[in-house]
């Protein structure tokens, strides 16, 4: 049953206040489902007979969050509680919600407008009210659409992805009719905005069962509409003894083996996406995928831009894909530093995690030693604070200008030379040493300028 200690006082206050003012009101949705499963809810939603205007009359701080859908956010002591007027189900056009065409009259109507039975349990502060069989499905760990599934997915196709997302967050099975309806309606997902699709994809990827989620997207037929390049990896044989799985199965295995971090999981999802379009077969019939990391980086950037991911995430994912084949065997410290320079400090650990997951997802025998050795070297470099980027140098552009270098690209070139020098010799990263070295560079530059090259004489 519900452990009310897990419901914050502020949320209770809002519910009580609405009720005292004469409006029938309930906690509803994910919070009740999570409480019954013993999970800590992220947010507390209330459905009520009060209209947004009536809610605004009761509470001091109310923000219009989704007025179109009858939702306002009530703020109590820094906590925000979403309050939605009882919904009606007929507010959909072409699979996209278009706003409320009238509020529902009762909790029954509200609950029937929701997506899955387990998301439709009401709690009045005292007892759970189950109008659609949510409790039975919760105990059988089943995700079942409310009403006629095909109709519900026609109303809002995102529900299909929400279903898959909930099933891999909660480790629930999707009930047969609901699953069949998803397969039947898969193409409707094209009507949904990229932002809504992205948000669900993200939740699938950072769930407990990311590979189950992506497999379900593929098997239900949605993936070919969402990310056709990834769908093309399904059943694509690698013809190479290093791999014992087709490209898609390998991607799923890598996904499953990565720690729960969005950038890393996106990189796992896309790391081999260019394999189908880069396959070449040698005279012995062995498959090769030259440059699939470079082509894959470009493809992932394109896909992620379409899905409206932010630039930082897109860039980091691209870097990991580009470098994933760069498996260093007993490298010199300077080589590791150059790798860190290319990935950025924030991505180097992710790259090693990706490489380990990639190895574990390939055919045995597995050798994880080089990756652990690399991790150790990275740790040592970072702990010592060895210079890796131009910003780590003991001198900057200003010092070079004071020495007489001209403003502009020359400064950048000299700083790069200095960095190369200190990457190999971190002990020389002092102002004195670098000024000395810069002076040497300067006299070389001056010499070159004094004696014109033959090219310059002729033209």
Q: Which stretch binds ligand ATP (CB under 6 A): 8-16, 38-46, 52-60, 122-130?
A: 38-46
Decide if residue 42 touches ligand ATP (CB under 6 A).
Answer: yes
Residue 163 is a binding residue for Mg ion (CB under 5 A):
no
Site size with Mg ion, rule: CB under 5 A: 2
CB nearer ligand ATP, residue 82 or residue 323 = 82
Which of 30, 70, 134, 163 lies at the binding interface for ligand ATP (CB under 6 A)? 30
Q: Which residue's CB is nearer to ligand ATP, number 186 or number 378?
A: 186
Say how far apart CA 378 and CA 382 lie, in whole Å: 6
- Gap between the Cα atoms of 394 and 392, Å rounded: 7
Residue 415: which of ligand ATP, Mg ion, none does it interact with, CB under 5 to 8 A by kind?
none
- Give the range of 111-119, 386-394, 414-422, 428-436 binding ligand ATP by CB under 6 A: 111-119
* Virtual torsion, Cα 334, 335, 338, 340, nearest 10 deg: -100
Q: How far apart are CA 421 and CA 426, in angstroms?
A: 8
Binding residue for ligand ATP, selected from 71, 85, 117, 119, defined by CB under 6 A: 119
Question: Residue 43 or 392: which CB sits closer to ligand ATP?
Answer: 43
Asked whether position 30 contacts Mg ion by CB under 5 A, the answer is yes
> HEC profile for the chain?
CCCHHHCCHHHHHHHHHHHHCCCCEEEECHHHHHHHCCCCCCCCEEEECCCHHHHHHHCCCEEEEEHHHCEEEEEECCEEEEEEECCCCCCEECCEECCCCCCCCCHHHHHHCCCEHHHCCEECCCCEECCCCHHHHHHCCEECECCCHHHHHHHCCHHHHHHHHHHHHHCCEECHHHHHHHHHHHHHHHHCCHHHHHHHHHHHHCCCCHHHHHHHHHHCCCHHHHCHHHHCCCCCCCCCCCCCCCHHHHHHHHHHHCCCCHHHHHHHHHCCCCHHHHCEECCCCCEECCCHHHHHHHHHHHHHHHCCCCHHHHHHHHHHHHHCCCCCCCCCHHHHHHHHHHHCHHHHHHHHHHHHHHHHCCCCCCCCHHHHHHHHHHHHHHHHCCCCCHHHCCCCHHHHHHCCCCCCHHHHHHHHHHHHHHHHCHHHCCHHHHHHHHHHHHHHHHHHHHCCCHHHHHC
Binding span for Mg ion by CB under 5 A among 30-38, 92-100, 218-226, 443-451: 30-38
Residue from the set 45, 200, 229, 386 that interacts with ligand ATP by CB under 6 A? 45
Which parts of 156-195 interact with ligand ATP (CB under 6 A)? 156, 158-159
Nearest distance, CB of residue 73 and Mg ion, angstroms = 13
Q: Which does 156 bind (CB under 5 to 8 A by kind): ligand ATP, Mg ion, none?
A: ligand ATP
Give 348's Cβ-side CA count (13 Å radius).
22
- Token representation of residue 333: 């410290």
Q: Should residue 116 be labelled a site residue for Mg ion when binding is judged by CB under 5 A?
A: no
Q: Pick from 14, 18, 23, 29 the residue near ligand ATP by CB under 6 A.
A: 29
Judged by beta carbon distances under 5 to 8 A according to partner kind, the member of ligand ATP, Mg ion, none in contact with residue 91 is none
Which one of ligand ATP, Mg ion, none interacts with residue 235, CB within 5 to 8 A by kind? none
Q: 115 contacts which partner out of Mg ion, ligand ATP, none, CB within 5 to 8 A by kind?
A: ligand ATP
Place of tokens 């690399």: 374
**Closest distance to ligand ATP from the beta carbon of 332 (Å):** 47
State the minimum distance, in angstroms, from the CB of residue 143 to ligand ATP: 11
Q: Which of 59, 100, 112, 114 binds ligand ATP (CB under 6 A)?
A: 114
Q: In this complex, which beta carbon is closest to Mg ion, that of residue 167 or of residue 355?
A: 167
- Per rule CB under 6 A, count of chain residues that contact ligand ATP: 12
Instruction: Build a one-symbol-per-residue string for 206-245: x at contacts with ligand ATP by CB under 6 A, - elsewhere.
Output: ----------------------------------------
Smallest distance from ligand ATP to CB 45, Å: 5
- Is 120 a binding residue for ligand ATP by CB under 6 A? The answer is yes
Question: Which chain residues interact with Mg ion by CB under 5 A?
Answer: 30, 43
Give me the residues that bind ligand ATP (CB under 6 A), please.
Answer: 29-30, 42-43, 45, 114-115, 119-120, 156, 158-159
């Amino acid at each position: 049953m519900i452990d009310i200690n897990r419901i914050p006082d502020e949320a209770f206050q809002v519910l009580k206040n609405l009720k005292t003012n004469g409006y029938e009101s309930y906690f509803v949705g994910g919070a009740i489902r999570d409480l019954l499963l013993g999970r800590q809810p992220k947010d507390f939603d209330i459905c009520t007979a009060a209209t947004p205007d009536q809610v605004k009359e009761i509470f001091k701080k109310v923000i219009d969050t989704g007025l179109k859908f009858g939702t306002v956010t009530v703020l109590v002591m820094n906590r925000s509680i979403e309050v939605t007027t009882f919904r009606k189900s007929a507010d959909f056009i072409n699979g996209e919600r278009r706003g409320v065409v009238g509020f529902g009259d009762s909790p029954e109507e509200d609950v029937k407008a929701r997506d899955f039975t387990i998301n439709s349990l009401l709690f009045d502060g005292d007892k759970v009210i189950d109008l659609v069989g949510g409790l039975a499905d919760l105990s059988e760990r089943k995700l079942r659409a409310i009403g006629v599934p095909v109709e519900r997915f026609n109303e809002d196709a995102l529900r299909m992805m929400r279903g898959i997302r909930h099933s891999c967050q909660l480790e629930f099975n999707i009930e047969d009719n609901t699953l069949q309806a998803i397969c039947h309606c898969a193409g409707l997902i094209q009507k949904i905005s990229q932002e809504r699709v992205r948000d669900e994809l993200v939740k699938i990827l950072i769930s407990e069962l990311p590979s189950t989620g992506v497999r379900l997207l593929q098997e239900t037929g949605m993936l070919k509409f969402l990310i056709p390049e990834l769908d093309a990896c399904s059943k694509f044989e690698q013809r190479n003894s290093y791999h014992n799985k087709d490209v898609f199965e390998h991607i799923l295995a890598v996904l499953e083996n990565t720690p729960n971090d969005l950038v890393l999981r996106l990189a796992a999802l896309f790391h081999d996406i260019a394999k189908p379009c880069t396959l070449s077969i040698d005279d012995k019939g062995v498959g090769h995928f030259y440059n699939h990391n470079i082509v894959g980086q470009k493809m992932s950037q394109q896909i992620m831009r379409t899905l409206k991911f932010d630039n930082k995430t897109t860039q980091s994912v691209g870097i990991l894909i580009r470098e994933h084949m760069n498996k260093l065997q007993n490298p010199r410290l300077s080589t590791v530093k150059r790798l860190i320079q290319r990935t950025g400090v924030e991505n180097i650990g992710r790259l090693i995690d990706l490489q380990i997951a990639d190895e574990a997802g390939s055919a045995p025998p597995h050798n994880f030693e080089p990756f652990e050795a690399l991790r150790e070297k990275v740790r040592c470099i970072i702990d010592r604070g060895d210079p890796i980027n131009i910003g780590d140098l003991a001198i900057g552009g200003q010092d070079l200008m004071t020495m007489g270098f001209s403003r502009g690209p020359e400064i950048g070139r000299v700083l790069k030379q200095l960095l190369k020098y200190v990457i190999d010799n971190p002990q020389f990263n002092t102002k004195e040493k670098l000024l000395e070295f810069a002076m040497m560079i300067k006299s070389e530059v001056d010499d070159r300028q004094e004696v014109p090259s033959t090219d310059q004489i002729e033209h």
